[in-house]
Amino acid sequence: MPFGLRNAAQTFKRFLDDILRNLHCFAYLDDILIASIDHASHYRDLEEVFQRLNEKGLVLNIEKCIFGADKLPFLGCEVSKDGISPSKEKVEALGKKKRGKTTIDWSEAAVQAFQTCNNSIAQAVLLAHPNSEAKLSLAVDARNTEPHGTPLHCDVSTGNIRPSVPKAFRNTIINAIHSLAHSGAKATANAVKQRFIWISLKKDCTEFCKRCIPCQKSKVSRHVKSPKGDFSLPSARFSHIHLDVFGSLPPSKSYRYCLTAVHRFTRWPETFPMIDLTANTIAENYYSGCISRFGVPEVITTDQGRNFEIDIFHSLTKYLGISKILIAAYNPAANGMVERFHR
């Protein structure tokens, strides 16, 4: 990782967290702390960390490593089995620090506060580790009716620790992740889901993205939708016909294409072989194969293929008084009755 990049520290920390996840250690940038109960556990924890680092191609500087120590310096503090305390060097440096030579008015209260801070630091109070056998006291806000508390849960089923977020902090978390790139509701929900959980996560992300002012100003709005269309129910047999063509097929007596007609009311299918897909051939086969046998329909439904849009086909439907319905472009499902028959 090169020095000087703005996000170098964050990227390297995330990289190291992914490598050492689920191991008995704590990593801060390039410093790794392994604390164990006894020597046997310590050897096992060291072996697991070394093995993981070796798998990922990382190496350690042996001159900077400390193994099997009762206490050691870590991030400016001295960590031991008893707890955490400030390092002696920093305590001594702060104890020798003199009052600043600024032009502000050093009142008696300010001088006393400065001395109190120095004295408190000089005491170097030890921060002891939590005792699992000790009794814990829970301090809560007073309520007029009854005490109330919310348990904090975490999900570890994916291998990552994902805390359950209370309702008061959900918008803050969504805003922090959504504001990175102002991605859509689905991408925002996926990004939040990788780090946190709660019951209505997807719904909350969708509602937040809808209310995002920068997204509403900069993104193209496609909120207006046409109402869903519907076909009227036919009143008699062969009054509404769905037409379509398909091919090419393996040739049989020079026939390589088919014209399919499906009656909407009875779902009766008819298929007529054709040599080509010209409008003349389609009109001739439809007239001789369907109209001459079942009569003139009231409505026919086709796609927007050019062979159904040629003048001869328009003239045929106009001469016979047939209403023609065209389905939406690139939406074969709108003519699904005949498309399903083709399968």
**CATH number of residue 328's parent domain:** 3.30.420.10
Going by the DSSP 8-state scheme, the letter that residue 335 receives in this structure is G
- Residue 208 scores a pLDDT above 90: yes
Q: What DSSP string describes 29-45?
A: TTEEE---SSHHHHHHH
pLDDT digits (tens, 9 = 90+) for 20-60: 888 888 888 888 988 888 888 999 999 999 999 999 898 99
Residues 36 and 78 in one domain: yes
CA 178 to chain centre: 11
CA distance 127 to 83: 5
Tell me the sheet residues that pair with 273. 258
CB 45 within 8 A of CB 34: yes
- Is there a single domain that holds both residue 212 and residue 246? no
Amino acid found at 24: H
Confirm whether 306 is domain-assigned: yes
Specify whether 266 is located in the same domain as 316. Answer: yes
Whether the per-residue pLDDT at 103 is higher than 90: the answer is no
Give the model confidence (pLDDT) of 217-257 as tens digits. 887 766 666 677 666 777 777 788 888 888 778 888 888 88
Rg (CA), the chain: 38
Instruction: Give the number of residues written for the chain.
Output: 343
| pLDDT higher at 152 or 329 | 329
Assigned domain for 109 exists: no
Residue 242: which H helix or E strand, with range? strand 240-252
Q: Please provide the average confidence, as pLDDT, over all residues in the chain.
A: 81
Nearest to 219 by CA among 183, 180, 177, 176: 183
Place of tokens 């065209």: 326
What pLDDT is attached to residue 141?
59
pLDDT of residue 72: 86
Task: Establish if 213 belongs to a structural domain.
Answer: yes
Looking at the structure, do residues 250 and 177 belong to the same domain, yes or no? no
| Residue whose structure tokens are 């991605």 | 183
Q: Show the domain range for 295.
A: 240-342
> Given the structure tokens 């007596």, which residue do they identify?
253
Q: What is the mean pLDDT of the segment spanning 5-26?
A: 87
H or E segment to which residue 259 belongs: strand 255-263
pTM of the model: 0.41
Question: What b/e string do you get for 126-165 counting C-beta neighbours within 10 Å, with b at 16 or more?
Answer: eeeeeeeeeeeeeeeeeeeeeeeeeeeeeeeeeeeebeeb
Task: State residue 248's pLDDT score.
Answer: 79
Residues 210 and 288 placed together within one structural domain of the fold: no
C-alpha 23: how far from chain center: 27
Beta-bridged to residue 74, according to DSSP, are 77
DSSP assignments along 171-223, one per residue? HHHHHHHHTTT---HHHHHHHHHTT-B-TTHHHHHHHHHHH-HHHHHHSPP--
Contact call for residues 276 and 257 (beta carbons, < 8 A): yes
Residue 322 burial class via C-beta count within 10 angstroms: exposed 0-12, middle 13-18, buried 19 and up: middle
- Residue 226 in domain: no
Q: Are residues 247 and 293 in the same domain?
A: yes
Q: What is the DSSP letter of 303?
A: -
pLDDT at 342: 79
CATH number at residue 37: 3.30.70.270
**Total count of domains within the chain:** 3
Give me the residue label for tokens 């902090």.
Answer: 169
Give the end-to-end CA distance of the chain in Å, rounded to a whole number. 56
Averaged pLDDT, 264-270 = 84
pLDDT, residue 177, reads 92
Q: What percent of the chain has pLDDT over 70?
A: 88
Sign, Cα dihedral of 51, 57, 60, 62: positive
